[in-house]
Amino acid sequence: MHIDLVTLIVDEYDPAIAFFTTVLGFELTEDSPSLTTDGRPKRWVVVRPPGGGTGLLLARADGERQSGAVGDQTAGRVGFFLNVDDFDATHQRMVEAGVTFVREPRTESYGRVAVFLDSAGNRWDLLGK
């Protein structure tokens, strides 16, 4: 048993795809046309970290309630955790790509960590050695 996907609500598909694939290096594994339950067009968009693992279903906000959740899906807490093999190189690459870090790197008992924002404003931990 494993968790295959986690939904991430975004304003628009393409900027989110660009962030996750270009900046974070995820793979776009699916981008298919779909329909809402009432027949409106949408897309089924999945990005995954290199090598597989749990993917993100990028879901465009539909309505006021979902739009209000964009960038704050975990009520201001870090809700996503990206573990990398080379923390310093990844951090530097992300800084150069313009990623906003809200907490600078620090060393903890489990390794290096820094908090960054994704393209929608959700908080992530960048973790590594």
In CATH, what number is assigned to the domain containing residue 36? 3.10.180.10
Say whether both 7 and 59 belong to one domain: yes
How many domains does the chain fold into? 2
- DSSP per residue over the chain, as a string? ----EEEEEES-HHHHHHIIIIIS--EEEEEEEEE-TTS-EEEEEEEE-TT--SEEEEEE--SHHHHHHTT-TTTTSEEEEEEES-HHHHHHHHHHTTPPEEEEEEEETTEEEEEEE-TT--EEEEEE-
Task: Please tell me the predicted confidence (pLDDT) of residue 52.
Answer: 87
Series of mean pLDDT values for 10-residue runs along the chain (129 residues):
97 98 97 93 96 95 96 96 97 98 96 97 97
Task: Please tell me the predicted confidence (pLDDT) of residue 19.
Answer: 98
Say whether both 60 and 76 belong to one domain: no
Say whether both 76 and 120 belong to one domain: yes
Say whether both 55 and 106 belong to one domain: no
Residue 119 CB neighbour total at 10 angstroms: 21
Say whether both 37 and 83 belong to one domain: no
Structural domain of 26: 1-66
Pairing of strands 101-108, 111-117: antiparallel
What is the token pair recorded at 52?
């597989």
> What is the pTM for the complete model shown?
0.93
